[in-house]
Chains A and B, each alone.
Chain A
Amino acid sequence: GAVVSQHPSWVICKSGTSVKIECRSLDFQATTMFWYRQFPKQSLMLMATSNEGSKATYEQGVEKDKFLINHASLTLSTLTVTSAHPEDSSFYICSAPMSGATDTQYFGPGTRLTVL
């Protein structure tokens, strides 16, 4: 199946710093990617839709100035958590649909962010 990678797999940072997470589609192009957040024992919560060549679309309640998304190319989207605080500690997962082929989405392995 299609492969989506994320980097880093985990990160620990101090409160107030910014953290960048990369999401790459390895063997297919993705004009759209999705960013999710998952708290322990909770389901995935969609944060935003990343669109290549245009601005990201954020879900209600997600601060776009705090969670900066850049879809730099057809295979790369980045999520930057700016001025991170302990309440931002979570598991961040990206996904990408295989454009034109199916409606299925393939998920990255996730990035665990811990803000001290």
Chain B
Amino acid sequence: QKEVEQDPGPLSVPEGAIVSLNCTYSNSAFQYFMWYRQYSRKGPELLMYTYSSGNKEDGRFTAQVDKSSKYISLFIRDSQPSDSATYLCAMGRGGSNYKLTFGKGTLLTVNP
């Protein structure tokens, strides 16, 4: 079993839809969780990060973490064509260990 599982998609939605992206993980040592957005041929861009279970909201984006179920989600409200990208979940152990473990990424297309 991989440490982090993410459905690669692709996921195609109409403009304005609510998008739900998810990852599961198996290692309870992960303490912090991030979502990155990566446009084609570009480096990943940090969208959200969180340390605790619960929800964190930033504009149209909401990150949700359920440590008991080892499940994280990213919700995008009022999706826009400019949101079309690959979304990567990432997890880390914290402390002096900066290494991140990434999901495979989900390719999202928002159609106008």
Q: In the complex the two chains form, is A97's CB within 8 Å of B46's CB?
A: no
Q: In the complex the two chains form, is B45's CB within 8 Å of A107's CB?
A: yes
Residue numbers in A under 8 Å from B104 (CB-CB)? 42-43
Residue numbers in B under 8 Å from A41 (CB-CB)? 8, 107
Question: Is A91 close to B, CB under 8 A?
Answer: yes
Kindly state the separation between the CA atoms of A49 and B107 in the bound complex, as whole angstroms.
Answer: 27
Kindly state the separation between the CA atoms of A17 and B91 in the bound complex, as whole angstroms.
Answer: 36
Q: In the complex the two chains form, is B41's CB within 8 Å of A107's CB?
A: no
Q: In the complex the two chains form, is A107's CB within 8 Å of B105's CB?
A: no
Pick the contact of A34: B34, B94, B99, B103 (CB < 8 A): B99
Kindly state the separation between the CA atoms of A104 and B46 in the bound complex, as whole angstroms.
Answer: 8
Which of the listed residues A6, A49, A95 has the most CB atoms from chain B within 10 Å of its own CB? A95
Nearest opposing residue in chain B for A45, CB measure: B102
Question: Is A112 close to B, CB under 8 A?
Answer: yes
Q: In the complex the two chains form, is A44's CB within 8 Å of B44's CB?
A: yes
Q: In the complex the two chains form, is A97's CB within 8 Å of B98's CB?
A: yes
Kindly state the separation between the CA atoms of A103 and B99 in the bound complex, as whole angstroms.
Answer: 9
Question: Is A8 close to B, CB under 8 A?
Answer: no
Within 8 A of B (CB), among A54-113: 91, 93, 95, 97, 102-110, 112
Pick the contact of B42: A4, A102, A110 (CB < 8 A): A110
Q: In the complex the two chains form, is B98's CB within 8 Å of A112's CB?
A: no
Nearest opposing residue in chain A for B51, CB measure: A103
B34 smallest CB distance to A (angstroms): 6
Closest 7 A/B residue pairs (Cβ): A107-B43, A43-B104, A109-B43, A110-B43, A97-B98, A107-B44, A43-B102
6 pairs across A/B with beta carbons < 8 Å? A1-B46, A34-B98, A34-B99, A97-B98, A103-B49, A104-B46
